[in-house]
Amino acid sequence: MPAKPIDPKKRPMPKQEPFERIKNFDEVALGYTVELAHEEASRCLACKKPRCVEGCPVGIDIPAFIQCMLEADFSGGIKKIKERNALPAVCGRVCPQEEQCEKVCVLGNKHEPIAVGRLERFLADWEAASGAIEKPDIASPNGGRVAIVGSGPAGITVASDLALLGYDVTIFEALHEAGGVLTYGIPEFRLPKAIVRREVEYVKSLGVKLHLDFIVGKTKTVDAFQKEYDAIFIGAGAGLPWFMEIPGENLNGVFSANEYLTRCNLMKGFLFPAYNTPLKRASHVAVFGGGNVAMDAARTALRLGADEVHIVYRRSRSELPARLEEVENAEEEGVIFDYLTLPTKLIGNERGWLTEIECLRMELGEPDESGRRRPVPVKGSEFRMQVDAAVCAIGNSPNPLIPMTTPGLLVGKKGNVVADEETGQTSRERIWAGGDVVTGAATVISAMGAARKAARSINETLSK
């Protein structure tokens, strides 16, 4: 019998039309229908040695959940995912699958790889819509007590892994809502907050306790925690924004991406004045940087009603660190990309408000240590751009509060907590760390991968 021909293309993701979506904060990607999900799942080759599983930082049994989908056993499918991943609805949306599972998919040799992320999201959303959230088996209490600093992707993963093993787990969160960067950083139109809340509720349903408004290092130090807990995991994230260190950065109208996005996402500034946190509605906005955060800030500015939004990036399109999908979304929505452009100076009026930025044109030279071609300024190419807001999205360092208040905790040059790559163990006994606080700003899934390893190491240490 001849083999069924393989469809070379992924099923496209239904999306809100660009002209419509730039007027609202609703999710852009609408998710697969049952039919689309089934068609996409049927593209899977069900490899004997599935490379996708190795490509997944948390090792989800991808062919197994896709097989369940083919049999229309959605509850079996989501169960398979949840064996390895407590946040499927989040990961299905924001993981860079093209760098991980989908990158190594065998289908990808000749065709487009299978859309693992979209299928994962489909199952997670199907489960939420069904209303019957299944919980895996929880081991009986083993007496071990674990404190977790931060309720972002890393903290939530460690918490759920250890709760399932029978530990008494408490998460401490500095802000008034859980989720870390999923809540304050990633916009509603890319990751609806209702989904983050749902995932946090799921982790709480496993018996994990959550303390909000608790700033570890200030409200209580890590050392004080050591008297009460058998293990401490630090997942405090990369919460210290970098600025360009060019003149004029403290003018009014200049924001860190963290501020801009926090005002909008956590504080719901887009609903001002119903929500009391204001967010300036600028007409011409420049966003510095080329990562996912820059895309998020630029697309947020559009939705807040800006006439013109520019991404100002010193390299070219092929070097953008953002996911291609997000770049394409931004392009479709009308964000203007100024490649090979370096802001050198911010200029304000007499009242201290930003009015212009001065930039230099760049050209690409020899590759630098990151392997990307180094941008070199073109002499005499200065020009000015009229803007009334600028958002600096060039990266973050780990939050300094914990290193500052935890003596003996080894910290690297960039303020990152030093932790073993395989175990997450820090320089201090019974203290583990993982996620952005160790690596600097990275991805949700890599934080979850590091957290999973730390959970394993915590369990091994405490079971001795």
Question: Binding segment for other proteins among 50-58, 92-100, 209-217, 441-449 (CB under 8 A)?
Answer: 209-217
Q: Does 87 bind other proteins (CB under 8 A)?
A: no
Eight-class DSSP state of 355: E
Alpha-carbon separation of residue 425 from 156, 310, 343, 408, 444 (angstroms)? 18, 42, 40, 13, 20
Q: Does 275 bind other proteins (CB under 8 A)?
A: yes
Nearest to 318 by CA among 364, 378, 287: 364
- The least distance separating other proteins from the CB of residue 252, rounded to whole angstroms, comes to 5
Query: For residue 169, which of 156, 182, 178, 180 has the smallest C-alpha distance?
Result: 156
Please tell me the number of Cα atoms within 13 Å of 180 on its side-chain side: 30
Does 59 help bind other proteins (rule: CB under 8 A)?
Answer: no
Closest distance of CB 396 from other proteins, Å:
8
Give the residue, chosen from 276, 336, 412, 421, that forms a contact with other proteins under the rule CB under 8 A. 276
151 binds other proteins (CB under 8 A): no
Q: Which is nearer to other proteins, 243 or 383 (CB)?
A: 243
List CB contacts of 48: < 8 A, sequence separation 6 or more: none
Which of 142, 252, 283, 461 binds other proteins (CB under 8 A)? It is: 252
Q: Which of 430, 409, 406, 439 has the alpha carbon at shortest distance from 153?
A: 439
User: What gap in Å lies between CA 170 and CA 210, rounded to an integer?
Assistant: 6
Q: Which of residues 211-240 bind other proteins (CB under 8 A)?
A: 212-215, 218-220, 239-240
Taking CB under 8 A as the binding criterion, the range among 10-18, 261-269, 406-414, 430-438 that sits at the site for other proteins is 261-269
Total of chain residues touching other proteins, rule CB under 8 A: 40
Tally Cβ neighbours within 10 Å of residue 407: 10
Based on the shown chain and the rule CB under 8 A, indicate whether residue 249 belongs to the binding site for other proteins. Answer: yes
Among 1, 129, 132, 274, binds other proteins (CB under 8 A): 274
Least separation in angstroms between residue 270's CB and other proteins is 13
Least separation, in Å, of the C-beta of 239 and other proteins? Answer: 4
Residue closest to 156 by CA, chosen among 266, 237, 75? 237
- Asked if 399 is part of the footprint of other proteins (rule: CB under 8 A), the reply reads yes
358-367 contacts at long range (C-beta below 8 A, 24 or more positions apart):
358/382, 358/383, 358/384, 359/312, 359/383, 359/384, 359/385, 362/314, 362/315, 364/315, 364/316, 364/340
Each residue 401-440 as x (binds other proteins by CB under 8 A) or -, in order, gives x--x------------------------------------
Residues 6 or more apart whose Cβ sits within 8 Å of residue 396: 238, 239, 240, 241, 242, 258, 436, 440, 441
Q: Tell me if 83 contacts other proteins by CB under 8 A.
A: no
Is there binding between residue 345 and other proteins (CB under 8 A)?
no
Q: How far is the CB of 195 from other proteins (least distance, A)?
A: 19
Instruction: Out of 259, 308, 331, 338, point to the residue binding other proteins (CB under 8 A).
Output: 259
**Per-residue H/E/C for 366-428:** EECCCCCEEEEECCCCCEEEECCEEEECCCEECCCHHHHHCCCCCECCCCCECECCCCCEECC
Check residue 63 for interaction with other proteins (CB under 8 A).
no
Write out the binding residues for other proteins, residues 168-197 only, by CB under 8 A.
174-176, 184
Q: Is 341 in the site for other proteins (CB under 8 A)?
A: no
Please give the single-letter amino acid code of residue 252.
N
- The residue ranges that bind other proteins (CB under 8 A) are 174-176, 184, 212-215, 218-220, 239-241, 243, 249-250, 252, 255-256, 258-259, 262-263, 267-268, 272-278, 280, 351-352, 399-401, 404
